[in-house]
Chains A and B, each alone.
Chain A
Amino acid sequence: MVKIAIDSERCEGHGRCYSLAPKLVEPDDLGNGRVIGDGTVPADQEDNARQAEGNCPERAVLLEET
């Protein structure tokens, strides 16, 4: 199972995560990424989660495999 999280210390609001994984992350009022729900990534969203991670300029998207 994969979980997605946003490191709010690193996030600067580039918005790549919620563009690439809109079912997993949404923008807050500043445009920073905010995880929807508890961050559990459904199997059909794993590609989106990996793209969100691989496109964050600040390396603020964290994926945890359990």
Chain B
Amino acid sequence: MADRPPVRDWATDFDHTDPTWVADPYPIWDELRQACPVAHSDRYGGAWLPTRHADVAAIAYDTDDFTSRSVVVTEYRPPNLAPRGIAPPITSDPPFHQGARRMLLPLMSPQVIAKWEPSTREYCQSLVHELAGREVVDAATEYAQHIPVRVIARMLGFPEDDADRFRGFVHHVLEDVTLPLELRLPGMQELFEYLRDQVKDHIDNPRDDLTTALLNADMGGEVADLSHVGGTIALLLLAGIDTTWSAIGASIWHLASHPEDRDRLVKEPDLLPTAVEEFLRAYAPVTMARLVKHDMDWHGCPMKEDDWILLSFPAANRDPEFFVDPDEVIIDRTDNRHAAFGLGIHRCAGSHLARMELRVALEVFLDAFPVFHLDDPAAVKWSAGQVRGPRTLPVHIG
């Protein structure tokens, strides 16, 4: 990552890649929520940061004034590939968005995802089996990281041995965001060449998997063109990996540092689905982005066309106006309208898959290691960018 000046003032100069934010963003959001509550920055060519749930929701629901053309804040503005965007439907706006989403959702429905649960559990069990007997393991790189990569590779019908390449693509697209365009292009090119080869192989050899299903899926009465299908596959490959890895890692981090919650889940495994929702609320990994469509005054903010909006669902999930005791992790919280998977028409299409993976990953880990704790809290490292989760997580399991 390029060297960047430290943030002077969070209300007027915020930067979500600043080391202070990366280490602990929650106090920053709390301060902004009380004082600002929509921060601005000249960085990234102009960006805004709403911190209240009401403002995050209003922008998520407003597809007239904000476009999803690009959902990752970078130093440059992406080419305008409207109406589709580079990875439909996440980068699509209405009305095109609806057809692109309808094409994908039946393939990611809870009924479809349920069929992947037994093989996901088996895979998680094989991972803990490898770790058993060790004293300290890295729960981020030796456990959480592998699960979503393996599951999506199997679903798409891609070679499972390519897992390291997938993680390289993800790191490049989602974490190397401060690099200029010319340094980002070669990695993008490699990703698209890889996907082109996989799609071609599926056209030549159709099989019972998600890639073939997408190639044949109904997009407004016909099949979608190849660049549309390729963009959707890129989305499935990239969007589910860092995010789910982060959610699993953050949950293990919480349990490793809160033995009372860990013990309770070991004793009351039926509570796990409720606890999973609370982990998703408190440690929501994903921040999205929008671009402002046209100059306007938005609730007193002088927004300019092509300004970024850093749409922080994690900040919305910590808003005390919306949640009781938002900074407390309450694993049996009953009312939990959290926005970890977004709000409105862009609700995460992979949310049913992510929930299944997170629940199964925690269930298997707790079953194998009912007692574990952080080996060295200071050694835990969190990712920078719009996906937040532990990237180094040494846990004492022995």
Interface residues of A, Cβ cutoff 8 Å to B: 12-16, 18-19, 27, 29-31, 51, 54-59
Partner of B352, one of A15, A54, A56, A58: A15
Contact A31 B105 (CB under 8 A): yes
B334→A57 contact, CB < 8 A = no
B218 nearest CB across to chain A (Å) = 12
Q: B residues within 8 A CB of A18?
A: 110
B277 at the interface (CB under 8 A from A): yes
For A55, the closest partner residue in chain B by CB is: B336
Asked if B337 contacts A56 (CB within 8 A), the reply is yes
Contact in complex: B105, A13 (CB < 8 Å): yes
A12 touches which one: B106, B345, B352 (CB < 8 A)? B345
Asked if residues A54 and B337 are in contact (CB atoms below 8 Å), the reply is yes
Docked Cα-Cα span, A40 to B338, in Å, equals 27
Task: Select the residue from A30, A31, A59 with max chain B CB neighbours within 10 A.
Answer: A31
Q: Size class of B's contact patch?
A: 20 to 34
* Chain B residues, CB < 8 A from A51: 334
Q: Which residues of chain B come closer than 8 Å to A19, judged between CB atoms?
A: 273
Asked if B347 and A30 make an inter-chain contact with CB atoms under 8 angstroms apart, the answer reads: no
Contact B338 A57 (CB under 8 A): yes
A15 to B352, CA, bound (A): 8
CB contact between B277 and one of A12, A13, A55 (< 8 Å): that residue: A55
Residues of A within 8 A of B108 (CB): 31
User: Given A12-B344, A14-B341, A29 and B106 touching (CB < 8 A)?
Assistant: yes
Q: Is the interface of A mostly helix, strand, loop or mixed?
A: loop
Q: How many Å from the CB of B84 to the closest CB on chain A?
A: 20
A-B pair count, CB < 8 Å, reads: 51
Which residues of B are interface residues toward A (Cβ below 8 A)?
102, 105-106, 108-111, 273, 277, 334-339, 341, 343-345, 347, 351-352, 355
B343 near A58: Cβ-Cβ < 8 Å: yes
The binding surface of chain B is classed by DSSP as helix
CB distance from B392 to the nearest CB of A (A): 31
CB-CB under 8 A from B339, the residues of chain A are: 57
CA distance A56 to B102 in the complex (A): 21
A59 smallest CB distance to B (angstroms) = 7
| Residue contact A27 to B109, C-beta cutoff 8 Å | yes
Residue of B109, B273, B335, B336 near A31 (CB, 8 A) is: B109
Are B334 and A54 in touch, CB under 8 angstroms? yes
Instruction: Give the nearest-CB partner of B61 in chain A.
Output: A58
A residues near B344, Cβ cutoff 8 Å: 12, 58
Q: How long is the Cα–Cα vector from A37 to B108 in the complex, in angstroms?
A: 25
Apart from the given pairs A30-B102, A51-B334, A57-B338, 17 other A-B contacts in the complex at a CB distance below 8 Å: A14-B341, A15-B110, A15-B352, A16-B277, A18-B110, A19-B273, A27-B109, A27-B110, A27-B111, A29-B105, A29-B106, A31-B110, A31-B352, A54-B335, A55-B277, A56-B337, A58-B344
- Rounded to whole angstroms, the CA-CA distance of A54 and B324 in the bound complex is 13
A30 and B109 form a contact (CB under 8 A): yes
In the assembly, what is the distance between CA of A15 and CA of B350, in Å?
12
- Complex interface: chain A residues within 8 A of B277 (CB): 16, 55
Shortest Cβ distance from residue A36 to the other chain B in the assembled complex, whole angstroms: 15
Subset of 18 A-B contacts with CB under 8 Å: A13-B351, A15-B110, A15-B352, A16-B277, A19-B273, A27-B111, A29-B109, A30-B105, A30-B106, A54-B337, A55-B277, A55-B336, A55-B337, A57-B338, A57-B339, A57-B343, A58-B343, A59-B337
